[in-house]
């Protein structure tokens, strides 16, 4: 039930595809049972054969319906999900594709299998709107490069600042994110962008602002890189925490440390600490002291 062109598209044999088309093969034949509505273009896209897909489009392949009962029913939706950036623009330019850029952005944020910031940028350029929870959705899917690209777009910044949503979005992100999942340079940029979106709101002084998800379970080198962002914003270094700081080599961390100030948490000594981690730990302690951390009896006992 598969035509030769189906197999050529699946294997990415561009020369065979071109020869079959030149010999009169139809470019939009569906595969028969049991394969359902499999077109040559669909097979090329699923297989990631971008040059083959481009060749089929140039020869008039329909990029439209895959399954009529599927709301995300075009090959353009599939391209966004699979992260084939090179095909987004050609498909967007095809008049026969009826796809809302906002729905495509939602589709990418929910089901995209990889982090492709270029796709997000293209969809925003095409007029995609921003739905509530987009930042949180990108975070939960660990699309941090796309999240950073979103925060850099003028369209998103204008929308969020005009609606006064910056502080709420920043607060929700900072409550939910596990910074140990992403590169510290990316984390630094994302947090600074979120703080900028909050304009004059002092998030770090907010009673609802919590340190636990921000610095836990980071090791000290990462903490030393990220802590200045919050200190610059007036974070209360003497606020109580339950932060899990650092790591032990060869041993598992306990479920939680007892509550205490950030300085208390940063002052724990263990013989398992790596040398570079010990140096970063001293850097964190020094930074906290420079910003007014109190050395209470609990902290002294911890250090000793």
What's the pTM? 0.78
Q: Taking 70 as the threshold, does the pLDDT of residue 273 lie above it?
A: no
Residue 260 bridge partners (DSSP):
241
pLDDT per position as a tens digit, 55-113: 998 998 887 755 555 555 678 888 999 999 999 988 888 766 678 899 899 999 999 99
pLDDT (average), residues 223-242: 79
Q: Taking 70 as the threshold, does the pLDDT of residue 194 lie above it?
A: yes
- The conformation of residue 181, written as its DSSP 8-state character, comes to G
The crossing angle, in degrees rounded to 10, of helices 101-111 and 75-82 is 40
Q: Taking 60 as the threshold, does the pLDDT of residue 119 lie above it?
A: yes
Residue 270 bridge partners (DSSP):
none
pLDDT score recorded for residue 121: 95
d(CA 199, CA 142): 26
d(CA 69, CA 86): 27
Region of 207 on the Ramachandran plot (φ > 0 left; ψ -120 to 50 alpha; else beta): alpha
Give the number of other CB atoms < 10 A from CB of residue 167. 19
Lowest mean pLDDT among 38-42, 130-134, 174-178, 256-260: 256-260
d(CA 261, CA 287): 14
d(CA 245, CA 224): 11
Helix (H, G, I), strand (E, B) or coil at 83: coil
- Domain extents in the chain: 131-207, 210-304
- The conformation of residue 254, written as its DSSP 8-state character, comes to P
Give the number of other CB atoms < 10 A from CB of residue 104. 26
pLDDT (average), residues 136-162: 92
Query: What mean pLDDT value characterizes the chain?
Result: 80
pLDDT per position as a tens digit, 23-36: 988 888 776 655 56
d(CA 97, CA 76): 8
Higher pLDDT, 216 or 266: 266
d(CA 172, CA 133): 10
Cis peptide before 108 (omega within 30 of 0): no
Q: Taking 50 as the threshold, does the pLDDT of residue 238 lie above it?
A: yes
Tokens of 134: 């987009």
Higher pLDDT, 181 or 244: 181
The crossing angle, in degrees rounded to 10, of helices 85-92 and 75-82 is 160
DSSP symbols for 32-44: -TTS-S--HHHHH
Q: Taking 60 as the threshold, does the pLDDT of residue 245 lie above it?
A: no
Q: Taking 80 as the threshold, does the pLDDT of residue 137 lie above it?
A: yes
Tokens of 39: 């077109």
Cis peptide before 217 (omega within 30 of 0): yes
pLDDT (average), residues 205-215: 59
pLDDT score recorded for residue 84: 93
pLDDT (average), residues 276-283: 85
Higher pLDDT, 240 or 201: 240
d(CA 116, CA 93): 20
d(CA 266, CA 88): 48
């Amino acid at each position: 039930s598969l035509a030769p062109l189906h197999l050529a598209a699946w294997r990415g044999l561009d020369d065979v595809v071109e020869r079959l088309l030149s010999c009169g093969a139809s470019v939009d034949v569906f595969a028969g049972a049991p394969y359902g509505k499999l077109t040559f273009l669909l097979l090329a896209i699923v297989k990631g054969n971008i040059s083959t897909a481009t060749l089929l489009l140039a020869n008039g392949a329909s990029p439209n319906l895959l399954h009529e009962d599927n709301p995300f029913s075009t090959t353009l939706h599939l391209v966004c999900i699979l992260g084939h950036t090179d095909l987004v623009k050609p498909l967007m330019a095809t008049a026969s594709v009826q796809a809302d850029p906002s729905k495509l952005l939602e589709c990418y944020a929910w089901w995209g299998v990889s982090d492709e910031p270029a796709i997000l940028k293209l969809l925003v350029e095409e007029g995609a709107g921003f739905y509530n929870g987009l930042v949180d959705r990108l975070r939960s899917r660990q699309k941090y490069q796309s999240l950073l690209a979103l925060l850099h777009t003028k369209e998103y910044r204008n929308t969020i600042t005009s609606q006064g949503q910056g502080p709420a979005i920043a607060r929700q992100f900072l409550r939910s994110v596990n910074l140990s999942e992403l590169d510290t340079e990316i984390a630094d940029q994302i947090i600074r962008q979120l703080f900028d979106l909050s304009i004059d709101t002092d998030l770090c002084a907010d009673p609802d602002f919590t340190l636990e998800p921000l610095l836990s379970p980071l090791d000290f080198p990462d903490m030393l890189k990220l802590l200045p962002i919050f200190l610059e914003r007036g974070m209360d270094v003497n606020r109580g925490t339950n932060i899990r700081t650092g790591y032990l080599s060869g041993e598992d961390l306990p479920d939680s440390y007892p509550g205490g100030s950030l300085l208390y948490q940063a002052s724990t000594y263990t013989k398992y600490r790596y040398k570079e981690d010990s140096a970063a730990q001293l850097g964190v302690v020094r930074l906290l002291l420079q910003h007014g951390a109190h050395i209470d009896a609990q902290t002294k006992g911890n250090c000793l």
